[in-house]
Structure 1
Amino acid sequence: MTGRLDIDSPQGVAESFEHTHGQAIALQQLGYTLVEAGLLTPEQLDASRTDQENTGVPLDQIWVDRGWVKPETLAYFAEHRLSSQQQVREVPPGLALMQMITGMWVTQSIYVAASLGIADLLQGGVRSVDELAQASGAQAPHLYRVLRALASVGIFTEVAPGQFGLTAIAEYLRSDVPGSLRALSRTVSDTWQWNCWGDILNIVKTGQPAMQRLYQVQDTFTYLTQNPESGAIFDDAMTGWAKTIHTAVIDAYDFSGVQTLVDIAGGHGMLLASILAANPMLRGILFDLPNVVAGAGPLLEQAQVLNRCQIQGGSFFAAIPTGGDAYLMSHILHDWGDADCVRILQNIRQAIAEQGRLLIVEMVIPPGDTPHFGKFLDVDMMAIFSGGRERTAAEYQELFQAAGFQLNRIIPTAAPVSVIEGVCA
């Protein structure tokens, strides 16, 4: 095997978001801390956010310039907050396990807030629970109990009795922020996913896919097609996730040596459009099912790359377009079992030039007890997909070899995915 094999654990999802938007979010959280301490009023925080949006001046500078907060006070709270975040709180093993067992309480409470759009209602500033309940169609006493619980774990903050505001974490439940996780919460707690996870013991004992047993469908995508509301929520979640992944991939991988990039199962071409926009000399071929790529034109045109991109419809189980010197698949192989993956990769091998590159964007599971987001995502794939799974570097090497490729190198990104590069064997 040539090249390097680097499977160091990439940064977690929250860390990649913090890398991109960290400074602004950190200042907003500092503002909430100052409000809680009585050093800044909710009205002053709201006014400073409006000024920041209009002028671009950082929040901390606005607070100091207006005389609301002294520089030394600001420095103290900023340092104190950072040191507090860096501390590791030790908890007894039994309590730690109890928190894990009851994690579903947090998940479902977040789902309530995401479904009701609470974070969107708070983007203008602190509001009372009565206002939030009226605007979202909820019962105020019941909504209060959910928001109080969420505030206890850092999602929203109760700045005064019955008065709630956003926190740095809650910002990602807004619909309009880059990297929004609102749709992800809604799809993870959607009835079909919840029921699949409820069947997890049966899956482990029998190996029988939950979707086939519970909903009598061949696969998850069939179910989502038959249930368009759930399908739309799932698509929104994947789009939000994809935007973060795409930025990380473009930053990590050098496409300058590629002339024509073929994006296999690329949907409407969001990733391909981003890559083409960042590489003006590159040309692309977008390939997916005919009914999918039929809607790709507007996105590619909006990105001003349509003149450099061909659109072709078809199935990757049948034949792959020729003419590319690099073939890209992002978050596709993890949907399929090994036999189907080898079949897809063999079709790419027949189409690719001998000097071409295979680029697979997926999570790579690290060995041993190393924490990694992909380890539980792998269990989720087992629960909701038939044959879907996350894989280790060695498992990708086996897939590549079975299809006529050689794993050349694995390039980590700032997100919990890597670019797995293969060459023709």
Structure 2
Amino acid sequence: MASDQPRMPPQGLVRAVELVRNGLAVAYRKLGPGQLAVMELLAAGWLTQAIHAAAELGIADALADGPRSGAELAQAVGADEDALHRLLRLLIGHGIFKRRRDGRYALTPMAKALQRDTDVSLRDAALFFGSPIHRDNWSHLVDAVRTGKPVGEALHGMSFFEHARTDRTLGTLFDNAMTSIGSLGLAPLLAAYDFGRFETLVDVGGGEGTMLAEILCRAPRSKGVLFELPEVAESAAGRLAELGLAERCTVERGSFFDEVPQGGDAYILKHILHDWPEDDAGRILATVRAAMKPGARLLVIELVVPENARPHPGKIIDLEMLVNTGGRERTTDEYRKFLARFGFRLTRVVPTVSPDNILEAEPA
């Protein structure tokens, strides 16, 4: 775990690059036949499956010690050499892996994201998003659009989270993917917001405590409370102890639908509200509001959907929520109104260089 806060590029520069990239993409699509542009978008799903295959085969790990020839790599990952070459040819065209002049394959910065043991690994995310069950759920997007409801009840007789609890293969795959994705946006959050101004931070539904641990490492005067379900809390407590944070961070067990620990100066909900249907998300806000003392702050960390026509990750994840959980992404105005319904006043929205924003609210 890093104790020094990494340097982030200026947010203005990041936004400018995004505008240029989106502008070039729009111009490219307008230059050619519309059918060709649509065909390229349709093929994007195949690229997802190619990335999943590379993660499943462990290609990035096989190249961790240096470049390998096609024959060496095929033997290392247990693949057909010609088929592996065809897979890598596609990925290389998108910056994932490279082929040197001597014909050997090697890692790129993007390929390193598919390694198991790296600071920010997306291997588990690739395994989840390319998995058969995830593909199957998305194949029923039209049903979710027609009904406005997630597809789990019709396909599996239970909600996504119930399915993940009963099918531990799915549950482990999902949990690992969320940990993987959570690490991706951690540095930008820590660079954009001063969490150290709070004496006690309560991370509600904070998984194994990765974010809270990073905050405490950078804020030596702060204390933390990790609140999680019993089955998650046990492993989280051990991990926090290994990091030397047992004296500054306690782990409490329970459900955020019932109650959350009292007495915190700040309550963090990171990627929680978007997971749940409106009524359930409201119940979470109500239990947090009931636990907050005067002057405490609520920190909602979520993607915020911009009110423009440009591409944005939140617009994609919003459909992921529709299909799988019944949750949703929201605009700033939608969050303001939603928070107000449960006794909060949105005071500011702190952007980061990642798609995540920090919505700071206070009891109304």
TM-score, L = length of structure 2: 0.88
- 1:261-300 CA deviation, whole Å, 9 max, x = no partner? 1111122222111111111111122111222212222211
283, 294, 297: which one aligns with 1:354 = 294
Displacement of 1:136 in angstroms is 1.3
Q: 1:295 aligns to what SS in structure 2?
A: helix
The residue number in structure 2 matching 1:412 is 351
Q: 1:86 to 1:421 in 2, by over 3 A?
A: closer
- Kindly indicate whether the alpha-carbon contact (under 8 Å) linking 1:187 and 1:234 is maintained by their aligned counterparts in 2: yes
Which structure is larger by alpha-carbon Rg, 1 or 2?
1
The residue number in structure 2 matching 1:243 is 183
- Kindly indicate whether the alpha-carbon contact (under 8 Å) linking 2:196 and 2:215 is maintained by their aligned counterparts in 1: no
- 1:354-389 CA deviation, whole Å, 9 max, x = no partner? 21101111111110213211110111111121x211
Q: Is 1:199–2:140 an aligned residue pair?
A: yes
The residue number in structure 2 matching 1:328 is 268
Displacement of 1:95 in angstroms is 2.6
Displacement of 1:88 in angstroms is 4.6
- Kindly indicate whether the alpha-carbon contact (under 8 Å) linking 1:341 and 1:399 is maintained by their aligned counterparts in 2: no
Gaps of 5+ in 2: 1-5, 10-20
Q: Is 1:113–2:54 an aligned residue pair?
A: yes
Matched letter for residue 399 of structure 1? F
Q: Is 1:275–2:231 an aligned residue pair?
A: no
RMSD: 2.2
Gaps of 5+ in 1: 1-16, 21-84
**Equivalences for 1:335-374 in 2 at 5 Å?**
335-374=275-314
Aligned residues: 343
Matched letter for residue 72 of structure 2? E
The residue number in structure 2 matching 1:150 is 91
| Separation in structure 2 between the aligned mates of residue 18 and residue 142 of structure 1, nearest angstrom | 41
Q: 1:86 to 1:358 in 2, by over 3 A?
A: closer
Identity of aligned residues (%): 38
Q: 1:98 to 1:362 in 2, by over 3 A?
A: same
Matched letter for residue 299 of structure 1? R
Matched letter for residue 225 of structure 2? I
- Kindly indicate whether the alpha-carbon contact (under 8 Å) linking 2:165 and 2:171 is maintained by their aligned counterparts in 1: yes
- Kindly indicate whether the alpha-carbon contact (under 8 Å) linking 1:277 and 1:303 is maintained by their aligned counterparts in 2: no
- Kindly indicate whether the alpha-carbon contact (under 8 Å) linking 2:201 and 2:222 is maintained by their aligned counterparts in 1: yes
Displacement of 1:177 in angstroms is 2.2
Matched letter for residue 251 of structure 2? I
- 1:317-371 CA deviation, whole Å, 9 max, x = no partner? 1112111121111111011122112211111111101211011111111102132
Between the two structures, name the one with larger relative contact order (CA 8 Å, sep ≥ 6): 1
TM-score, L = length of structure 1: 0.76
| Separation in structure 2 between the aligned mates of residue 18 and residue 140 of structure 1, nearest angstrom | 41
Q: 2:257 aligns to what SS in structure 1?
A: coil
| Separation in structure 1 between the aligned mates of residue 93 and residue 197 of structure 2, nearest angstrom | 51
Q: 1:130 aligns to what SS in structure 2?
A: helix
The residue number in structure 2 matching 1:26 is none
The residue number in structure 2 matching 1:421 is 360
The residue number in structure 2 matching 1:96 is 37
The residue number in structure 2 matching 1:399 is 338
- Kindly indicate whether the alpha-carbon contact (under 8 Å) linking 2:305 and 2:315 is maintained by their aligned counterparts in 1: yes
| Separation in structure 1 between the aligned mates of residue 95 and residue 77 of structure 2, nearest angstrom | 21
